[in-house]
Structure 1
Amino acid sequence: MEKVYRAQPGDRPLDYPSLDVPFYKNATHAPEAEAAEKLASDPVVVVAASHIVAACGQLAASVHRPFFSLVEGAKAEHVTACLQYLEASNTVEILRAAGPEGMHVDDIAHRIGELSEANDASARVDGSKLSHILRLLATYHWLREVRPDVFANNRLSALVDSGKTPEELRAAPEKKYDGTDGLAAFVAMCGDEFFKSSAYMADALLPWTERATSLRKLSNKDGAGATSLTVREPKYETPFSFAFRTELGYFDWMELPENKGRLAEFGRAMTGARLWEVAENVVDSAAFPWNELPKDSVVIDVGGGVGSTSVVLANAYPHLRFVVEDRKQVVDIAPSIWGSTQHAELLASGRVSYLAQDFFQPQPPHIDIAGVGTVSFPSVYLVRGCTHNWPDRDVQRMLRLLRDSAGPTTKLLLVEVILPLACYDDTELEDAGAAPPLPGAERTLAPAGSPLLANLGKAHASEYLLDISMMAVLNAKERTLRELSTLALSAGWKVSRVTRAQGSLWAYTTAEPA
């Protein structure tokens, strides 16, 4: 293992990055710190770390008093709420400016008020309450309490740093997420729509309960601009619809004029969500043979948002052309996000272009590509992080429309989380249209002979949390390999290949016209 931890052959072993030391993305770091962070993302290290996390989580569940575990689970929403406060109050940026010695809560509270857009008593923050919020976060290792009531950032809280100075945030708070990696926006989004929706999970899924019945009687009389939730069609009667008192689906609701800020926040949050999957994974030819595609092959990035994935791929494969499809409201803001960055040349050259297209409508019969001409069908339909946003029937419709527009050699690449079972998977996939053994169909992720859960439990819990988030907001889900293969086949696509990067549940599922 010593060789694994060397920055360069012959160098001394590197220490694993310290939890107590912030690693700010826009700061200059010592070469050893840079090397340690990079090495911590090495697939071999990631897999080893996953086994450690899985073991620690399983050990803690085994020895902790059950009642205390119950309390933590039943009150876990407080951690989410405090993380949301941490981001919304700009406390991370304030503590970055304060440095490693930290800042007293009274000073933090005063600084939060200074950064507020309000100039009255409403901008005053109670330091005594702030200390309790920050102490809970420190208890969960999201901050450090360096001395009584004095707090400082650490490696985890630094993730939420926007990179803006407190002065910049005060001058232009609406630009906080501009030019960032999106993680601060991701926390804001999770603390708003997703957090609030989850509170109504039982009400939506147990419709016969007294509280659920009363919620369906909501009307404009409450003064909140609500509409009666009389639609029983499950696509719309979701925990989200109860939380925000709307019969609109999430994406339609986001496009209302009053949610313009939320829509922009969502686009930037999706950039941050790319960290769920290591960016290098999607460009790896082991995931998909991009390098084997002929020059000027067209890849249509279906539901590609502002084009985060296409930009990464276009930089890695300059011989390919990428067309990002999404709703008009999304593609209209995309050029403003990339136009002032180092990626502007991709847009100017036409290697990355945008097309307003609803993926529940038929694909255009042809697309005009700058420098290439008219293309009747693409080489690849790329669908990344999209099918998990929709229930099965909608995904079937989406994939069927792509199949109807595909050529005989068009490939479908689904880039999604594939959820392993929490037990050893002894099933086969013959009835899902794929003859086993299909690459990627691991029966367990745990080392041979290990007592660990087959899905590595705590190490991959974030993907199962994402699964429930999709259920709460969109009546959707992450899928197992059987579920995804069966769904693809029902829409005319036969899964031919599945690969998964080391240490990740994100999978690259290639399908061909059936």
Structure 2
Amino acid sequence: MTFATLRALHAVIGTAIDDIERVYRERSQDYPVDYPSLDEPYYGTAQHTPQEELVESLKDDPAVVTASMRIVAACAQLSATVNKPWLGLMEDMLWPHLSAAIGFLETANIVEILREAGPGGLHVQEIHRSVLELRANLKTAAAADAVPLTAAHLGHILRLLVAGHYLREVKPDMFANNRMSSYLDTGKTLAQLREAPDKKYDNTDGVAAYVAVITNFDLHSGSPAEPAEAPSVAPFNLAFNTGLGYFSWLELPENAGRLARFARGMVGSRQFEAKDQILQGFSWADLPQDSVLVDVGGGIGSQSILVAQAHPHIHVVVEDREHVVASAASAWGPQHAHLFDPASGRMSWRARDFFEPWPALVLPALGRVDAPAVFLLRMILHNWNDEHCRRRVPFVVLILRHLRAAAGAHTTLLLGDILLQSSCNLDNAKDAEAKKAGDGVSTTLPLVVPDDSESEFPPLKLGVESITAHFADILMTGLFNGKERTVDEMAALTLSAGWKIVEVRRSPGSIVCYTTAVPV
């Protein structure tokens, strides 16, 4: 039946393209547009025509997102079926080289160099010259790099990126940005990068910073120490020869640049979600006037700031470590100054250790707040596993129990986390309801998904379109000895700390779910 499966997958792709084309046709009556080309860069910080803005906005349309995910999954399954096994095996094993090349592309400022060069591109010799010039301005750059980068080396790296669809080679040895590489653009000019290379990620969307966080771990030889927070030794501790937990390690004086980059990178992590998903992940409008949202471990407030912008009746307080809080407001630049005005109380920060009991808030606009309306934990719980290790209570449970002790009768816990799906075909009778929901999670909890996610595609296996969640799972293991969880694992975890999950919301195109829990 393999030919039938191949043709069925081909039909899935064709139908999905029809769905996308229909949306573009129906939504572009005033400005007829085509689907964006992979060859054409799109710089988020540039000025765009109404047609260009429409093209970009339509990619976030739920129907387009859902159809796009089907195409990605079906193409990957077709490729895995028909590719020569040896070639498929080699591609999968050697994939880290592409990851390293993407990290180099970002760190070497090549996207910004090519942006200024324009659509005609730039010769590899000129790219090489600009890369070395900008490198020389870095305070952290060694007087002489251990392995000198030649133009020949650079050309080979750039061609790997072309093969991975991250650049174009417009002529022999002439390279230009495409849509994929332009996504990493910070908008900074080369003059700005020369003058203040340490400000590269300031006031950006955080995508480039997140790439740097994930791909650019230059090894650091630290002194082994007793872990301050890590529940157990992770591969990170072995690689960096340190007994410190990842966040304590970031706060070392020599890692100040890494810490700032990490904070901005968390803004980029919004891209794990559908656009503004947090605004649909909870019924914010139903909260009473002057309700308080506490973003626990929220960094610079990369997600909760969206709530502050959209809902003026909510006061947002972001809690994190003192080193993060000290520079949080300034990291945003002047664009959100009206939210940070102490008189309004719209958004503020306070330093707190979430392994300690939650202390009452005192806000200038409200006075003492003994219990907030909402505790938000976004991308926090996956940093910790469920093992007891040195403490009688697992670290992750301790975090949740402190919040439960501080909760009022109407306090809600909102968790923004990846929930892992099943990777099997959902054709078992007992999974019929899960199949209808379009997701592999347990049906013991209410899962809210849009109606347009309910179509069934029998030959389509959950794979590449959800593999990012599984990559993130392994990444958490490597950095923290943590993990992503299934919905059942999350339900058991929260219940052990006195919280009962009552709803899970997921948007098309997102691997993050917003899970609502109430005190029990």
Same fold, TM-score > 0.5, yes or no: yes
What TM-score do the two structures reach when normalised by structure 2? 0.86
SS in 1 for 2:179: coil
Tell me the residue number matched to 1:410: 411
Q: Specify which of 86, 90, 96 is matched with residue 77 of structure 1.
A: 96
Alpha-carbon deviation of 1:29? 2.1
Q: Tell me if structure 2 keeps the 8 A contact 1:89–1:112.
A: yes
Q: Which has the higher mean CA deviation after the structures are superposed, 389-398 or 94-103?
A: 389-398
* Aligned-partner Cα distance in 1 for 2:454–2:215: 32
Q: Specify which of 196, 214, 226 is matched with residue 190 of structure 1.
A: 214
Alpha-carbon deviation of 1:460? 2.1
Alpha-carbon deviation of 1:77? 1.2
Q: Is structure 2 residue 275 aligned with structure 1 residue 251?
A: no
1:100-119 equivalences under 5 Å are 100-117=119-136
Tell me the residue number matched to 1:295: 289
Tell me the residue number matched to 2:345: 350
* Aligned-partner Cα distance in 1 for 2:37–2:180: 10
Tell me the residue number matched to 1:241: 237
* Aligned-partner Cα distance in 2 for 1:435–1:461: 22
SS in 2 for 1:76: helix
1:86-485 equivalences under 5 Å are 86-117=105-136, 122=144, 125-193=149-217, 224-227=221-224, 235-284=231-280, 287-338=281-332, 340-348=333-341, 349-364=344-359, 366-392=360-386, 393-424=394-425, 436=444, 438-440=446-448, 447-453=455-461, 456-485=462-491
Q: Which residue identity does 1:117 align to in structure 2? A: A
Q: Report the count of equivalent residues.
A: 473
* Aligned-partner Cα distance in 1 for 2:499–2:130: 56
Q: Tell me if structure 2 keeps the 8 A contact 1:412–1:510.
A: yes
* Aligned-partner Cα distance in 2 for 1:49–1:318: 34
* Aligned-partner Cα distance in 1 for 2:303–2:365: 22
* Aligned-partner Cα distance in 1 for 2:95–2:473: 17
Alpha-carbon deviation of 1:495? 0.6
Alpha-carbon deviation of 1:12? 6.1
Alpha-carbon deviation of 1:235? 3.2
Change (3 A) 1:178 1:49: same
SS in 2 for 1:75: helix
Q: Tell me if structure 2 keeps the 8 A contact 1:236–1:248.
A: no
Q: Tell me if structure 2 keeps the 8 A contact 1:399–1:488.
A: yes
Q: Which residue identity does 2:371 align to in structure 1? A: F
* Aligned-partner Cα distance in 2 for 1:310–1:335: 13
Change (3 A) 1:9 1:408: same
Alpha-carbon deviation of 1:109? 0.5
Q: Is structure 2 residue 58 aligned with structure 1 residue 39?
A: yes
SS in 2 for 1:507: strand
Q: Which residue identity does 1:452 align to in structure 2? A: L
Instruction: Could you tell me which runs of 5 or more consecutive residues in structure 2 were left unpaired when the two chains were aligned.
Output: 1-18, 387-393, 434-441
Q: Tell me if structure 1 keeps the 8 A contact 2:449–2:507.
A: no
Tell me the residue number matched to 1:219: none
Change (3 A) 1:437 1:477: closer
1:484-495 equivalences under 5 Å are 484-495=490-501
Change (3 A) 1:406 1:224: closer
Instruction: Could you tell me which runs of 5 or more consecutive residues in structure 1 were left unpaired when the two chains were aligned.
Output: 197-222
Q: Tell me if structure 2 keeps the 8 A contact 1:254–1:262.
A: yes
Change (3 A) 1:46 1:174: same
Change (3 A) 1:55 1:113: same
Q: Tell me if structure 2 keeps the 8 A contact 1:299–1:378.
A: yes
Alpha-carbon deviation of 1:290? 0.6
Alpha-carbon deviation of 1:7? 7.0
* Aligned-partner Cα distance in 2 for 1:415–1:13: 37
What TM-score do the two structures reach when normalised by structure 1? 0.87
Alpha-carbon deviation of 1:112? 1.3
Q: Tell me if structure 1 keeps the 8 A contact 2:375–2:411.
A: yes
Q: Specify which of 78, 86, 89 is matched with residue 59 of structure 1.
A: 78
Q: Which residue identity does 1:92 align to in structure 2? A: V
SS in 2 for 1:451: coil
Q: Tell me if structure 2 keeps the 8 A contact 1:497–1:511.
A: yes
Alpha-carbon deviation of 1:88? 1.2
SS in 2 for 1:299: strand
* Aligned-partner Cα distance in 2 for 1:358–1:234: 14
Tell me the residue number matched to 1:212: none
Q: Deviations over 1:278-301 (max 9, x none)?
A: 3421112xx211101000011111
Tell me the residue number matched to 1:511: 517
Tell me the residue number matched to 1:207: none
Q: Tell me if structure 2 keeps the 8 A contact 1:161–1:184.
A: yes
Q: Tell me if structure 2 keeps the 8 A contact 1:117–1:170.
A: no
Change (3 A) 1:410 1:139: same
Q: Tell me if structure 2 keeps the 8 A contact 1:498–1:510.
A: yes
Q: Tell me if structure 2 keeps the 8 A contact 1:7–1:36.
A: no
SS in 2 for 1:498: strand
SS in 2 for 1:342: helix
Alpha-carbon deviation of 1:149? 1.0
Tell me the residue number matched to 1:213: none
* Aligned-partner Cα distance in 2 for 1:63–1:473: 35
Q: Tell me if structure 1 keeps the 8 A contact 2:445–2:503.
A: no
